[in-house]
Structure 1
């Protein structure tokens, strides 16, 4: 499934969120940067000028178009993520564009719910559920998974190579970056009986519905796909066919703090989050890693042979251009943040991407410098209680993908005219939707 590129129309229907007329400017309409539109093509293509201005001039900035408070300085973002009493995760998976009645009816008919499970869970049950997840993504399991990742990467690249030879070109996103993490996740979590393309379609639809600005017609299409996803997850969790040592088997046996077994709805909510994070966002990271490596002189050839370069390159991409560009929190009470009084119930958008470009932390932040001494001081995976549990797996998959592609396809370059590929344009997710390449003559 193809997610919305920034060139797609951004119209909305009544009740579906702010339309173009509601977009404000920052700091005023005469500003040479133009209006700040978090979903708009200019911001998605090159958000850095806005992020730099926000961080230096208005680090806690209220955006009237979305109602969000944009938090940009690294120290403020870190403060929010580490203070779980003042800043709650309850809105982390809320729809960025309000869901209209027609979509809610689709969900009601299917009895679709997303109870607090992982990213949006601030209750006492979070710690236990997180332990179930991290058990499948800890350092030992990730290290053991490297041969699996390498094998799947090799199989996918074996299909790309003849396409390059026969046609002279290929897209490393659709044929490689997008599929690799889905197949790896299926093997690691013991998922059987489903086509990877279907899981990718469901995952992408969920991202677009909850973090995009689709039209009403598109929202209805996406809602049907999300319901299909939830129905399959529910049947899989309830079916009892999952082995005891699988991820779903572990969830089925998990007990809550009161001693009761985890309910099916919450187990499905946990799977919903893990499947999306483990597939879509990792695929987006790999896509960016490959595209940036191909564009930077010398990196592609060196990544195939130089020890540690692929890993360092992945972290530098995470610093400068992470796939998860922002995350949300809500204030539990009126509070002061970054010198600004923020009301109770304020919806915060933490600008993770901008923190990696703070020149006080990262000199010459626009330069890709994979040997930086503080290369892992970015916040691409968050920090604290809700730090991404799959961070190690995502890093490893991206590094293996870069190294494998550079070895198997040493004589490729960005396809002619592909300097600006279409970009994924969602509230919290940004990545190239294609990595077109061609054989060097």
Structure 2
């Protein structure tokens, strides 16, 4: 890769790696999660340690919030903004960060104008343009399509030779959400596996302190996806469909025309967010239910619990573990002062196991009465647009999976993703172990 790429890595991740490593050696708990593979595999004891120190804990990297109340307050407060302010960096780091800018054609999930790092009024405008796709009515209209795609994938799994193990992530958990979101966005179905590859390669950009190799792989994936999307926009300008990207490409001036970078930011984020977190939801949910047969039995006895079970999965193993905010004025959180310019990590995975809100929080319980109070979809202005679709895919996908293969079992140890912000499995070897006659597929509702 070029010298410019290496300089960008130094400014964006290399310096951070040094700072994180030093903080870890000095006992910083946040740095422990970022640096220690064991803590990353099981971060919950460390979350408990941080929470025990107070609602908002000063750290060598940034302030840390793990309590449910503190995280909620941060996510909902207009005293905090998303995104990074280079002007707040030390002089040398700022020069490294800004001197060699990224390719203007590439827009990653944490590059403006991505919704993840955009604040009002731009964020309000972009969100309004796409929110109609994810209204409750619009998502419910997708139920039949999700049922059909689920049935097709389960049929393909059932057609494999008896006794042959398969990877539940590549054969099911990844294909269901990417197929649905690709249809919504007008992306050809024959591109879905390519987008899964790009998404997997680019996902680490949500983390800080990437290795040089990780950074190069992520940048390469984003560059290739960006080039494809720009060509896709041109095709839709000539031959529009009835999908959301066609509508965004053909906005008139009165609606606020979008340039190519804005189109790429919106379409790319919707595509990535439309399957990345749902892959983790389906994978983690399947493993939890395989490992907790009593909970699976409860769902078989009372199928009305499935919607609540999805929320309990989201609470117990949050697909997004953390997000950060920057204070734009002096404020306080749960009585703790936060000066202007402070960076705060809202540890969603820890907040979702706060014993003040969720009794016996480290127990997976599909009957939990307040499971829906989790923060897995964030809160406030940046509440996940695709939350309703993720819940729908999680409920239908997992329910049909275990109805079709009630004896589903692990064929080996599931492999956790190496990412820190996103939590889930990249491989789940399973045996279908179902010798029962195949039941008729349910009719789409």
TM-score band, normalised by shorter chain: 0.7 to 0.9
- Which residue does 1:247 correspond to in 2? 244
Larger % of helix: which? 2
Normalising by the residue count of structure 2, what TM-score does the alignment of the two structures yield? 0.83
- Asked if the contact 2:405–2:433 (Cα under 8 Å) also holds between the matched residues in 1, the reply is no
Task: Report the counterpart of residue 435 of structure 1 in structure 2.
Answer: 428
Deviation string for 1:221-257 (max 9, x for gaps)?
221111111122222234314635311122224468x
Note the C-alpha offset of 1:373. Answer: 2.2
| Structure 1 alignment gaps of length 5 or more | 1-11, 93-97
Q: Distance in 1 between matches of 2:201 and 2:95?
A: 17
Q: What is the CA-CA distance between 1:332 and the residue it aligns to?
A: 0.7
- SS of the residue corresponding to residue 325 of structure 2 reads strand
1:208-233: per-residue Cα shift (whole Å, max 9, x none)? Answer: 13326432133222211111111222
Listed as ranges, the matches of 1:318-337 within 5 Å are 318-337=314-333
**SS state of the match for residue 265, structure 2?**
helix
What's 2:117 paired with?
120
Partner of 1:314: 310
Give the length in aligned residue pairs.
412
What pairs up with 1:23-422 in 2 under 5 angstroms? 23-24=23-24, 28=27, 36-64=32-60, 67-84=61-78, 86-91=79-84, 107-108=102-103, 111-113=105-107, 114-163=111-160, 165-167=162-164, 169-192=165-188, 194-211=190-207, 213-239=209-235, 240-241=237-238, 243=240, 245-254=242-251, 260-300=256-296, 303=299, 306-415=302-411, 417-418=412-413, 421-422=414-415
**TM-score of the pair, normalised by structure 1:** 0.84
Contact persistence 1:157–1:405 (CA under 8 A): yes
The structural deviation recorded for 1:390 is 0.5
The answer on whether the counterparts of 1:208 and 1:222 sit within 8 Å (CA) in structure 2 is yes
Conserved in 1, the CA contact under 8 Å of 2:181 and 2:274? yes
Give 1:438 deviation, angstroms.
1.9
Residues 1:352 and 1:291: Cα distance change in structure 2 (over 3 Å): same
Residue 105 of structure 1 and its aligned partner are, at CA, apart by 6.3
Question: Which stretch of the first structure deviates more once superposed, 277-286 or 50-59?
Answer: 50-59
SS at 2:372 equivalent: coil
Whether contact under 8 Å (2:330, 2:340) holds in the other structure is yes
Which runs of at least 4 in structure 1 moved beyond 6 Å after TM superposition?
Answer: 98-106
Q: State whether residues 303 and 309 of structure 1, in contact with CA within 8 Å, keep that contact through their aligned partners in structure 2.
A: yes
Instruction: List alignment gaps of at least 5 residues for structure 2.
Output: 1-11, 86-92, 435-445
Change (3 A) 1:161 1:49: same
